[in-house]
């Protein structure tokens, strides 16, 4: 399912952005603060109304029923707030909401498919031992995994995540990326906003660099995140060290 | 039915039976030698108890829905400005009566419902224009509450006689005394519509747990949700003000007390809050009837505020330590 954006524009945030994203790959969106990364991802998720065209496999996204769109596109917003201190299982079950038909249907995962999807999401994020724990008693890494499991429980064809690695340490960040890679291997489209250029360089299949609402470069990590681009967009002089797949940016 | 709901239904049944027997005149169900016991039961106590269940249920469910919608445990059905608008309507009807306009016995509840409907329409107009932001919408509700509060003070200051003033003030205190089956028939359908709206909105309210953006990505239509909330709160709160006056704190206190006994999912809290609100109002009203007070009985609105305000303070105290959810 190709996710295509054409001429997305939103005053002050997005300036004529066009992108074609292929499923089965991990695409990273990078850029300095205020570059329009979050706006782009939330626009593609159908959460932020923008001018321009969005389509999924040729189907017009804004014209879709919200619930139909929600079944195809999973969106993980930045921050991951939760108003109520629900337990991990309850949180993950929320991901099944788009699949539950009748308005009075209880949100409990009582259908066999719901149960299976929730169990799989719990296993994929390694949360088996935490399912009854309230969110307030999770560490940052556990919380990030639980929030992503909520998205995966919806079994979306696309996962759009806004800084899923924010506030995670190296090990937890890497594990989360590995889990997302696993999704891509299974044919899901994965599109992430990443601040850590090293993570993007080593773990993405494709990198889109944005600045001031526009796409600056778009391509393989090595090309899109070249030292010249980093100098131009972030205004810092850096050098990539180490072999391919394990590169580190030295500033 | 969950264990919580079953316990609440059991407690409610007991309280209901007790409320029929308790009062200035106690009725012994087995050896009643009270003259006119049947009349007292059927025409005074039964409608009053049913009304307590209806109003308490409506206010409790509205509180749970409002807290879920605003994602704030301190939200209260009064925040949309619907209760004050309904109260303004009722005050106007008392005032017009005092100025000599011959209004029927239905004038007060009808005026109150018109007030609630007006606030709902205004909120709907604002909601229709905005893209559904909860903050803007809440501000609009608070402005409506503030405006109707000022208009109510103006109306009170214009009251032509001390008697009208007294009538307005007592009415504003909220009570279930001297209500009849008329009020029951008026409130019942409104509460049914309100509760249904909250139940239909339940799943969207669950999604809102994760914030507005995540809720939209889960397929929630913010305008539909807002419309359901306006309808539900308008019917439940407007209807309760129309028949019982202003009764605060039920919508705030009850969801709080019950939330820890649920999985904290907003949709799991709506029915328990309705049952809990009904229970609180039924017990509160029975206590008001039993407590001896010079010059009549304690007003229910006052009693609940006396209970509610300290509760709110304890809540704020606990919020300091960040254990308020």
Query: Tell me: the pLDDT tens digits for B57-108?
Result: 999 999 999 899 888 887 787 777 888 899 999 899 888 888 877 777 778 8
Are residues B82 and B119 in contact, defined by beta-carbon separation less than 8 angstroms? Answer: yes
Once rounded to an integer, what is the mean pLDDT over residues B158-186?
A: 85
d(CA B316, CA A106): 32
The shortest C-alpha distance from A98 to chain B (Å) reads 6
pLDDT digits 0-9 by tens, A22-78? 999 999 999 999 999 999 999 999 999 999 999 999 899 989 999 899 999 999 998
Q: Give the closest residue to B126 by CA, choosing from B111, B238, B212, B135.
A: B135
Q: What is the pLDDT of residue A170?
A: 84
User: Is B263's CB within 8 Å of A79's CB?
Assistant: no
Query: What is the pLDDT, as a whole number, of residue A110?
Result: 56
Q: Residue B94 and residue B84: Cα distance in Å, rounded?
A: 15
Handedness of CA A36, A41, A47, A49 (dihedral sign): positive
Does residue B292 sit in helix, strand or coil?
A: coil
Read off the pLDDT of each residue in B249-262 and give the average, rounded to a whole number.
89
Segment A203-229, tens digit of pLDDT: 999 999 999 999 999 999 999 999 999
Task: Read off φ and ψ for residue A206, nearest 5 degrees.
Answer: -150, 145
Kindly report the average pLDDT of chain A as a whole number: 91
Give me the percent of chain B exceeding a pLDDT of 90: 33
What digits encode the pLDDT tens for the residues A168-207?
888 888 889 999 999 999 999 999 999 999 999 999 999 9
Residues A104, B209: C-beta atoms closer than 8 Å = no
Q: Which residues lie closer than 8 Å to B178 by C-beta, 6 or more apart?
A: none
**How many alpha carbons lie under 13 Å from residue A154 in its C-beta half-sphere?**
31
pLDDT for A43 equals 94
pLDDT of residue A221: 95
Comparing C-alpha atoms, which of A135, A160, A157 is closest to residue A146? Answer: A135
Q: Give all strands of the β-sheet with A59-60 in edge-to-edge order.
A: A14-21, A3-10, A51-56, A59-60
B242 vs B33, higher pLDDT: B242
C-alpha dist (Å) from residue B262 to A58, A129, B15, B273, B281: 43, 21, 22, 11, 21
Interface test with B, best of A49, A68, A94 (most B CBs within 10 A): A94
Residue B137: per-residue pLDDT: 75
Alpha helix ranges (H) inside chain B: 3-21, 37-39, 46-70, 82-98, 107-129, 134-157, 162-173, 181-208, 212-217, 222-244, 250-258, 266-290, 300-319
First CA to last CA across chain B, in angstroms? 24
The residue in chain A having the minimum alpha-carbon distance to the alpha carbon of residue B220 is A66
Report whether pLDDT(A80) > 70: yes
Residues B53 and B244 sit within 8 Å (Cβ to Cβ): no
Of A221, A201, A211, A228, nearest to A33 by C-alpha is: A211
Q: What is the pLDDT of residue A23?
A: 94
Per the CB < 8 A criterion, the answer to whether B296 and B240 are in contact is no
Nearest CA in chain B to A83: B209
pLDDT tens digits for range B192-201: 999 999 999 9
Lowest mean pLDDT among A6-20, A133-147, A206-220, B294-308: B294-308
pLDDT at residue A95 above 90? Answer: yes
User: Distance from CA of residue B14 to its chain's centroid?
Assistant: 22
B51-319, CATH topology level: ABC transporter involved in vitamin B12 uptake, BtuC (1.10.3470)
A3-250, what's its fold? Rossmann fold (3.40.50)
User: Is pLDDT larger for residue B288 or for residue B51?
Assistant: B51
Q: Give the separation between CA B4 and CA A21, rounded to whole angstroms.
A: 48
Q: How far apart are CA A134 and CA A114, in angstroms?
A: 21
3-state secondary structure (DSSP) of residue A196: coil
pLDDT of residue B131: 56
| pLDDT classification of B312: cutoffs 50, 70, 90 | confident
The residue with greater pLDDT, B157 or B57, is: B57
Residue A109 has pLDDT above 50, yes or no: no
Question: What phi, psi does B16 have (nearest 5°)?
Answer: -65, -45
Minimum mean pLDDT among A21-35, A76-90, B32-46: which range? B32-46
pLDDT band at B133 (very low <50, low <70, confident <90, very high): low
- CB pair distance less than 8 Å for A46 and B217: yes
- Interchain contact, B206 vs A105, CB within 8 Å: no
Q: Is residue A155 within 8 Å of residue A72, measured between CB atoms? A: no
What is chain B's mean pLDDT, rounded? 85
Q: Using the beta-carbon criterion (under 8 Å), do A107 and B202 form an inter-chain contact? A: yes
Rounded distance between C-alpha atoms, residue B236 and residue B69, angstroms: 16
Give the number of other CB atoms < 10 A from CB of residue B87: 26
CB A250 within 8 A of CB A239: yes
* Cross-chain CB nearest to A45 (options B199, B207, B217): B217
Return phi, psi of residue B293, to 5°.
Answer: -140, 130
Nearest to B209 among A70, A79, A84 (CB): A84
pLDDT score recorded for residue B129: 58
- Residue A112 or B52, more confident: B52
């Amino acid at each position: 399912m190709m996710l295509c954006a054409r001429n997305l524009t939103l005053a002050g945030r997005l300036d004529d952005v066009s992108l074609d994203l292929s499923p089965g790959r991990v695409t990273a969106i990078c850029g300095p603060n205020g570059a329009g990364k979050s706006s782009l991802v939330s626009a593609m998720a159908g959460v932020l109304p923008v001018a321009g065209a969005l389509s999924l496999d040729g189907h017009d996204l804004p014209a879709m029923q919200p619930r139909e769109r929600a079944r195809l596109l999973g969106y993980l917003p930045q921050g991951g707030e939760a108003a109520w201190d629900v337990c991990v299982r309850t949180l993950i079950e929320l991901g099944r909401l788009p699949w539950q038909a009748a308005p009075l249907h209880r949100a409990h995962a009582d259908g066999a498919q719901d149960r299976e999807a929730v169990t799989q999401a719990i296993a994929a994020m390694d949360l088996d031992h935490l399912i009854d724990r309230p969110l307030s008693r999770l560490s940052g890494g556990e919380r990030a995994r639980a929030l992503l499991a909520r998205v995966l429980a919806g079994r979306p064809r696309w996962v759009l995540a806004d800084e899923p690695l924010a506030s995670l340490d190296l090990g937890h960040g890497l594990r989360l990326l590995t889990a997302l890679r696993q999704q891509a291997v299974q044919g899901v489209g994965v599109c992430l906003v990443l601040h850590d250029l090293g993570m993007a360089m080593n773990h993405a299949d494709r990198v889109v660099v944005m600045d001031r609402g526009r796409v600056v470069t778009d391509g393989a990590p090595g090309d899109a995140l070249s030292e010249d681009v980093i100098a131009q967009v972030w205004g810092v002089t850096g050098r990539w060290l180490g072999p391919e797949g394990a590169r580190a940016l030295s500033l | 039915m969950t264990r919580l709901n079953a316990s609440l239904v059991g407690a409610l049944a007991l309280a209901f039976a007790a409320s029929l027997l308790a009062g200035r005149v106690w009725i012994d169900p087995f050896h009643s030698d009270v003259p006119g016991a049947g009349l007292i039961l059927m025409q005074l106590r039964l409608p009053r108890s049913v009304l307590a269940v209806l109003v308490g249920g409506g206010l409790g469910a509205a509180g749970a829905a409002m807290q879920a919608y605003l994602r704030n445990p301190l939200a209260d059905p009064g925040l949309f400005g619907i209760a004050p608008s309904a109260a303004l309507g009722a005050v106007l009807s008392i005032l017009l009566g005092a100025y000599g306009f011959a209004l029927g016995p239905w004038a007060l509840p009808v005026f109150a419902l018109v007030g609630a409907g007006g606030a709902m329409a205004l909120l709907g107009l604002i909601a229709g224009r905005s893209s559904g932001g909860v903050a803007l919408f809440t501000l609009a509700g608070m402005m409506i509450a503030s405006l109707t509060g000022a208009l109510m003070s103006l109306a009170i200051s214009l009251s032509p006689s001390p008697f009208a003033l007294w009538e307005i003030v007592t009415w504003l205190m909220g009570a279930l005394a001297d209500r009849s089956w008329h009020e029951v028939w008026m409130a019942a359908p409104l509460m049914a519509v309100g509760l249904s709206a909250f139940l239909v909105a339940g799943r969207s309210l669950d999604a809102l747990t994760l914030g507005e953006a995540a809720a939209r990505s889960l397929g929630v239509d913010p305008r539909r949700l807002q419309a359901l909330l306006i309808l539900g709160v308008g019917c439940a709160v407007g209807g309760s003000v129309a028949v019982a006056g202003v009764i605060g704190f039920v919508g705030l206190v009850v969801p709080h007390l019950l939330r820890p006994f649920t999985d904290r999912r907003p949709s799991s809290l709506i029915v328990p809050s309705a049952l809990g609100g009904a229970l609180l109002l039924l017990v509160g009203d029975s206590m008001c009837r039993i407590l001896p007070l010079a010059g009549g009985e304690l007003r229910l609105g006052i009693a609940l505020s006396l209970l509610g305000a300290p509760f709110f303070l304890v809540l704020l105290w606990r919020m300091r330590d960040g254990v308020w959810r």
